[in-house]
Amino acid sequence: MTQDILFDASRLLSRTDRSAPTGVDRVCLAYAEWLVEHPDYRMVPVRSRHDQLAAVDPRWFRDCMVDLRSRWTGSPSDRALNADERRLFAALEAEQPTTSVIGDAPDPHQPKAKNKTRVWKQYFRSRRVAAPPPAQLYFNVGHTSLNTPEILTSLGAQGIDRVVMLHDLIPITHPEFCRPGDGAKHRRRVLTALHHASRIVVNSRYTAHELMAFAERERLAAPPIDVAHLGLEPIFLKGEPSAKRRPYFVHVGTIEARKNLAFLLTIWRRLQEKMGDQAPRLVLIGRYGWENEAVLDHLQRSPNLQGLVHQVENLPDTALADLMSGAQAVLAPSSVEGFDLPAVEACALGVPLIASDIPAHRELVPQATLIDPLDGLGWLAALEAATRRRPDAPPYCAPTWKSHFQSIEDHLLPPLAAVPAPG
């Protein structure tokens, strides 16, 4: 007998116009695809609206999933590189540094434009809001629909188990790295999950530790907490660079304060002063986030970094894996992480990783070169040595979505035998 499972698709539906995913976006799509393909469970997509869940047409949502997968992880023919991306690849192959390839920085004084043509908004405006059907379980893996408790309490009143994934507690534990107000907003989400979720899934033991510490400070009894490391897209499980390039390093992730990129760019200026024409290049792959003024000052105004440091965003996975595979090392100097998917992807690709010595990295990538995120001389020495000779990447057993979902299925999904017969 097929069992219905509600899947909160709110986050994925808000990403239908994006050409590249965040780490949380990848998790949402992986869960949706797993539930769609499962032989014993039927995914019922729902979305949040005015603190209520509304059903989404499953056929239409499946088309959205196919489109997202094609754009985010498709073959090179699915999206050709744009002009800036071609300039970047050419700059990395050039013998001498050329002009830096830098994306347009956001203007903090310019109000954010609202795209009224987004498909999902048109679709939702055009259809009557329908309540979701009865189900045994509700999955929320995107931090959405948790700002108020109404949705989870309503599901609980219907006897539906509520499984929520929390990716980190960084806005609560490190609010100085986040946008003003994000700490209070995320605190409400975590409290909602602690009070009203049947179970909570986290991506690392470190996130579990932070969650339990938060619950203890709030004097709350947490529901069962399950740790399940995230899986990787197949394209990151193997890779070879498509071209020979001058020595360069790669950082992957949103350009925001906790990524410690202002520190990294200060190191890069010193590398240029020490190594001159032999200085390596650096590619920052990710969109601009918040609290990034210091990074922008380096990128736009430092003469030492012109032609050495580049920034691009929204790369398709094929180009991203190619750039990572050819790097001297992938860099992850973050001050704090809950999981750090790019660091795990680098190790899975067999690329050397130089990362900050923080709990998440010690748990997930202990074989990497780990350096204190404030140790400037240590980072300088490691980068100079890796420029002159690419380090060997130690063997690494990468986490997979298969093992992740096997753990979820074993511990969280109700057995089919427990489902009452029709009528």
Looking up residue 148, the CATH number of its domain turns out to be 3.40.50.2000
40 and 135 inside one domain: yes
Please check whether residue 304 lies inside any domain of the structure: yes
216 and 260 inside one domain: no
Please check whether residue 65 lies inside any domain of the structure: no
Supply the pLDDT for residue 79: 62
22 and 146 inside one domain: yes
Supply the pLDDT for residue 416: 54
Supply the pLDDT for residue 422: 41
256 and 188 inside one domain: no
207 and 292 inside one domain: no
Side chain identity at residue 247, one-letter code: P
SS3 assignment for 144-212? CCCCCCHHHHHHHHCCCEEEEEECCCHHHHCHHHCCCCHHHHHHHHHHHHHHHCCEEEECCHHHHHHHH
Please check whether residue 118 lies inside any domain of the structure: no
| Full strand arrangement of the beta sheet holding 353-356 | 309-312, 281-285, 248-252, 329-332, 353-356, 369-371
Supply the pLDDT for residue 113: 53
Q: What is the dihedral of CA 401, 407, 409, 413, to 10 degrees?
A: -130
Please check whether residue 70 lies inside any domain of the structure: no
Please check whether residue 120 lies inside any domain of the structure: no
Supply the pLDDT for residue 299: 87
For residue 242, give its domain range: 81-109+233-388
∠375-380-384 over CA atoms, to 5°?
155
Number of domain units in the chain: 2
Please check whether residue 395 lies inside any domain of the structure: no
Supply the pLDDT for residue 110: 59
Within 10 angstroms of residue 17's Cβ, the number of other Cβ atoms is 11
383 and 242 inside one domain: yes
Rounded to 5 degrees, what are φ and ψ at 359? -55, -45
332 and 292 inside one domain: yes
Please check whether residue 64 lies inside any domain of the structure: no
How distant, in Å, are the alpha carbons of 72, 249, 345 from that of 310? Answer: 22, 10, 21
Contact 146, 164 (CB under 8 A): yes
Q: Map tokens 């057993």 to a residue.
A: 397
161 and 136 inside one domain: yes
pTM: 0.90
258 and 366 inside one domain: yes
Supply the pLDDT for residue 125: 44
Of the candidates 356, 292, 303, 349, which has an alpha carbon nearest to the alpha carbon of residue 326?
349
132 and 96 inside one domain: no
Please check whether residue 406 lies inside any domain of the structure: yes
Of the candidates 153, 161, 237, which has an alpha carbon nearest to the alpha carbon of residue 192?
153
Contact 205, 222 (CB under 8 A): no
Side chain identity at residue 419, one-letter code: V
8 and 25 inside one domain: yes
* pLDDT averages per 10-residue partition of the chain, 423 residues: 88 87 94 94 90 89 92 70 83 85 68 50 48 86 93 94 97 94 96 97 98 97 96 85 86 94 96 95 91 84 92 89 95 97 96 98 97 98 97 93 94 63 41
142 and 212 inside one domain: yes
Supply the pLDDT for residue 86: 86
